[in-house]
Structure formats: C-alpha cells, structure tokens
A and B are shown apart, each in its own frame.
Chain A
C-alpha cells in the first residue's frame, strides 16, 4: 500500500518536470552572451530553517536549529548540506522521552526549473546522506499489564530517568523543494523529504523511536519523513558575471 504511493509520488515528480519544460525559454533575447564553462562555481547559499526554532520555543524545548548551505557548481547542480541540532520532548503511546542530538547532511540538489532571464527561482530534486549522533532520555513510561487488580495506573515516572546516550544513526534522504527569490538575494524555500534509514545503534532494552534529523522511527518500516522551511541568502561568487548584467 505504502510502496505504491511512493511510486506514484516519484512518478509525479517526472510529470511536473514536463510541465515546467513547456515554458518558453527566452535565452536568445539576452544581449550578453555568456560563455558556458563546464564547472561554474558562482553562488553560495547560506540560510536557516525557520520552523525548528519556533517549534522548539513553543514547546518549551531547548533551542533547535538547522543551518543550510549550498554551493552551485554547475548551471543546475549544487552541492548541498544541512547541519542541525535538535531537542524535543516526545509523548509517545507508551513512553515519554527527550531526544537531543546533532545531525549532518550532505548531498546535492538538481534544479529542474528553467528561469526567465533575470529570475532565479528553483524547483529541485535532491539526495542527501545524513548522520546523527544523539541521546534518547526516557522520562516516564507505562507498563503493559493485563491484570488491573493491583494497579489503577501503570505509569512509571518516579524511576530514575534512563538515559540512552551516544546513539548513532545514518540514513539517505530523497527530497523535493522549491525556492523563490522574494527580495534581491533572499530566498524562501520549502523542501519535503523522504528518509530511508540505513542503520542505527540499538540501545540496551529500548529502541530509538526518534532520531534528530530523521524524525519518527517506526518499528517495522525504515522510511521516515521530514521537511524544512528556509530563509537563505545568496552570496554571488562570480563577480565578473554580475558586473556584466544590466
């Protein structure tokens, strides 16, 4: 059932590219013909995720943040990376725990959007390899007990909290995103991610129900999901090219 939807999703990505491809390309009207180089390092984007700090603040967690960066090396191809830190209190069905950790993602974005002259927006597909180092601290949990004779509630929170520290996980992300230039050199973007867990350490007498950066981990499914909502600043690196623009 879920697999089918993933395939539909992947298929839908291709349909979008066709639609985008139908837009008129106006390259010939450009008065300045720029020479195309194979490697064209011309832009560095640095930005912040806007959602995570606000969310962590609203939920009285410690500050969570994500810094994003991408370096354009070909016309439509960028090396991209995210570094983040997360602190989140999670109330699950049977366990309440706090997940804290840092993560690092590295990969690429491929732009599918053909801009009109002077515009610089993008719809892109990307992939990341990601790794996270984190702690999951159990604050309280319920005991599964079919006999209610002795216990009215089976919540255990007067125990010493159990800290499962030094956990690791790594995964691959497939993402789709859009980025729109709102003010000159400032971009608002959103990216949606499907994560495929490759491996994670298994703590003694617990399992990693949440991995910072990966998000919720389900028992018998290695797929997860996530998103970010970013504000980025674009730093032009190719000054000659910029000067040639009117």
Chain B
C-alpha cells in the first residue's frame, strides 16, 4: 500500500522534472546597434569612406581597425544615455557623441529584456573645429532594428 503511494509520488515528480526549459531561440530580437550612413556633402549621395581605429572614448580596445564602407553599425552603451566614438579619417580625429534614451522591451522568459533606443537630436560632433565631419543629420530616431539608417554623417 505505502509502496504504491510512493511509486505514485515518484511518477508525479518525474512529470514535474520533465518540464521544458524556456530557452532563447536563435534569431530572437536583440539589442540593436545604431546604423550610420556616410554621405558626400557635395554630391549628397552615399559614399564609401575609409576610417581607421574606430574606438569608444575612454576605451582601450578598438572596435574596427579599418573600414571602407558607406554604412557602419556601432553598438551603444546600454548603461549610459551617451556613447562617444572616435572616428579617424586621414588622421583627422572627430568625436561622434551619440545621445539617446533607452527603452527596455520584454521578450519572454528565455530571452529576458532587450534595449531599444530613441536618438536625441543633440547628437553631435564634439570637436568640430577643423574636423572632417561637416554635418550630422538624424533621419530615423528610433532604433528598433538594424535595417534602416538612423543618421548620416556628411563629409
């Protein structure tokens, strides 16, 4: 009698232990990077640019050693509302200061939260004395995916 009951209890706990874990599937939404396009100030068209040693201000590690592209994706600092990048073009250094507001979005148990961003219009080039950046224009201030270009750097 008691043995039967114990068997029953064990069977029950077997079912409980077979509970599926909630895992975050690959391809789930993620915290997105900012997408920057480079535009020739005279022709007003997307133009490839060669930048070297792209790194964040106060960071020792370089995120991109060299790029030669008209579009660049950079991660934003999620524990701040400001991310500064040093952009070196032909040994002229400009600092792009990206300002934004973070909106945390809940996905599910497995994935938890991700961060979306709303770009602030005060995003600017900090040392603009004789820099190579002529103008920064925000074309899409919400960063909810990486498909659309968020801002253009005119050079």
Contact = CB atoms under 8 A, between A and B. Distances in A.
B66 to A, nearest CB: 17
B63 interface: yes
A5 to B, nearest CB: 5
Interface string B21-37: 01010001011010000
Contacts of B1: 20
Interface in B69-97: 75-80, 83
A147 interface: yes
A192 B115 CA distance: 40
Contacts of A219: 22, 108-110
A169 B112 CA distance: 21
A147 B33 contact: yes
A5 B56 CA distance: 54
Interface in A1-53: 1-2, 5-6, 8-9, 12-13, 16, 19-20
A8 B30 CA distance: 40
B31 to A, nearest CB: 4
Contact of A178 (B5, B61, B104, B108): B5
B130 interface: no
A244 interface: no
A92 B80 CA distance: 25
A145 B115 contact: yes
A221 interface: yes
Interface residues of A, number: 43
B53 to A, nearest CB: 14
Contact of B79 (A151, A207, A225): A151
Interface residues of B, number: 43
Interface in B2-32: 4-5, 8-9, 11-16, 18-20, 22, 24, 28, 30-31
A93 B12 contact: no
Interface stretch (A55-63, A103-111, A136-144): A136-144
B109 A145 contact: no
B24 A205 contact: no
A156 B105 CA distance: 13
Given A145-B30, A219-B108, A123 B5 contact: yes
B112 A94 contact: yes
A151 B78 CA distance: 7
B9 A190 contact: yes
Given A178-B5, A192-B12, A143 B20 contact: no
Contacts of A13: 8
Contact of A150 (B22, B78, B106): B78
Interface in B42-80: 56, 59, 61, 63, 75-80
Given A142-B112, A143-B104, A149 B30 contact: no
Nearest to B73: A147
Contacts of B30: 144-146
19 contacts: A2-B15, A2-B20, A5-B15, A16-B8, A93-B109, A93-B110, A141-B104, A143-B78, A143-B114, A145-B31, A145-B78, A150-B59, A150-B83, A156-B79, A190-B9, A205-B106, A207-B108, A219-B110, A225-B16
Closest 3 CB pairs of A and B: A94-B112, A147-B75, A150-B77
Interface of B: 1, 4-5, 8-9, 11-16, 18-20, 22, 24, 28, 30-31, 33, 56, 59, 61, 63, 75-80, 83, 104-115
